[in-house]
Structure 1
Amino acid sequence: MSIRQWPEHERPRERLLRSGSHSLSDAELLAIFLSTGGRGMDAVARGRELISRFGSLRALLDQSSESLVNEPGLGPASVCRLKAALELGTRHLAADLERGEALTDPASAGAYFSRRLRSLPHEVFACLFLDNRHRALAFEELFRGTIDAAEVHPREVVRRALAHNAAAVIIGHNHPSGVAEPSAADRAITQRLREALDLIGVRVLDHFIVGDGPALSLAQRGWL
């Protein structure tokens, strides 16, 4: 049965308009982007099948446009709408941070670093400086090139933290290879920066590594 044949109060679009996007399941939200379910399946059932096939909604959304466009129920138009919606959400988050909204969860910080660093063709080490209420003060790209212990200078990070009168900092860098797994050097840099910033009373809240998927949090791995 097509969604158009459902009672109006049960249709995902109508429910979103009536009750808000939070009232919809992952499959129902995804169904809004699908042109049809295909093969006798409605769009919600197709959305549920796609999420199950990739393991989670996040894993599905992290797929490239090229891999999604050939999935049943998806096509160029649906994939473009989906990717555009994701980009709008990321830009909305970036705008919130840049105008001083409080940073309240690791996922938001990781998404912000991904937005700023993922598309860069070379390695970049960056810092997001925060005040004592975890509101963004400044985002700065401090080092470029091969990010290792010889290239990242704690004294420069300390200098910039003092310049912004920061109470905390979130650090991050990208892996252009797309593999976000931290190296021994990544962990060593994190420790050196933490020790240097501790001396001036500035907390290192997290270190994100940006690859092809969601940014990896060293804090969530228990390495900070």
Structure 2
Amino acid sequence: MGMDWDVCVASELEDGPRERLMRLGPGALRVDELLACIMQSGNGKQNVYEIAQSLCRHLGDLDRLADLEVAELLSVPGIGPAKAVQIAAAVELGRRVVRKPPSDKRQIRTAEDAAKYVMDRLRYLKKEHFVTLLLDTKHRVLAEDMSSVGSLDASIVHPREIFRRAIRISASSILCIHNHPSGDPSPSPEDIAVTRRLVEAGRVLGIEVLDHIVIGDGRFVSLRAEGYMDSTS
């Protein structure tokens, strides 16, 4: 107990996670081993494996890691500010890599294309996240913006913020997507109100809002298909 990383590797594990990662790649490691690699060392009272396992027990479900904030990380026994920052930075880096649009400028032809584009990233999140896909004239993805909104309403999802980058990069149209953490993609009255507000703003700016898609657990709803994109409907 209380051993640091180097002592733990030398005395307890002939083939530690860092060595196995180098030899086999990160896909061969368990979650606690990956966390141990990120945190690197114990804290004098617990070795790095004990801290990693404590965090795994706290999470219960790995999907929770995507929404874990620094304050909650600090509540896990053995994790101080330095380790909390290491974990938060690693998670954010992974999030940015995953949400980076493909280099081939994927074309979004249908609502199903758009849903597939973000489904795996949004379906398990515990907070509502609003994604804006910025598209060219051929509906290819130029860029993507994502923000955590908690719950959707017009005061949070403001047209000024949604269209700012679209104007800067000369996007022809945008496609809006957000998730429902409940797993039920049925649009709420707030979803419909925000959609109509964005559609009207897009008409003024000359940037079409192609659709607003709500993501659930393996399901999605297109507000255009449901007839909510027309402000008079």
Change (3 A) 1:149 1:96: closer
- Cα separation, 2, equivalents of 1:168 and 1:186: 19
> What is aligned with 2:156?
151
- Cα separation, 1, equivalents of 2:139 and 2:150: 29
1:164 maps to 2:156: no
Shift of 1:142: 3.2
1:127 maps to 2:124: no
1:203 maps to 2:208: yes
Shift of 1:134: 0.5
Shift of 1:147: 1.4
Number of residue pairs the alignment of both structures matches:
131
- Cα separation, 1, equivalents of 2:165 and 2:147: 9
- Cα separation, 2, equivalents of 1:139 and 1:131: 12
- Cα separation, 2, equivalents of 1:146 and 1:194: 20
Contact 1:181 1:209 in 2 (8 A): yes
Contact 2:154 2:193 in 1 (8 A): yes
Shift of 1:119: 1.9
Runs (5+) with no aligned partner, structure 1: 1-93
1:183 maps to 2:188: yes
3-state SS of 2:190 partner: helix
- Within 5 Å, which residues of 2 pair with 1:15-164? 97-164=102-169
AA at the equivalent of 2:185: A
Provide Cα deviations, 1:70-116, integer angstroms capped at 9, x if missing partner.
Answer: xxxxxxxxxxxxxxxxxxxxxxxx89855213222221111113123
Shift of 1:163: 1.8
Q: TM-score, normalised by structure 2?
A: 0.53
- Cα separation, 2, equivalents of 1:151 and 1:158: 14
1:220 maps to 2:216: no
- Cα separation, 2, equivalents of 1:124 and 1:95: 15
- Cα separation, 2, equivalents of 1:131 and 1:216: 23
Provide Cα deviations, 1:121-170, integer angstroms capped at 9, x if missing partner.
Answer: 11111100000110100111134222112211111112121122110110
Once the two structures are aligned, what percentage of the paired residues are identical?
40
- Cα separation, 2, equivalents of 1:153 and 1:95: 23
Change (3 A) 1:183 1:102: same
Provide Cα deviations, 1:145-203, integer angstroms capped at 9, x if missing partner.
Answer: 22112211111112121122110110011110111100111000000011112111111
1:193 maps to 2:198: yes
Contact 2:134 2:171 in 1 (8 A): yes
Runs (5+) with no aligned partner, structure 2: 1-98
Contact 2:136 2:171 in 1 (8 A): yes
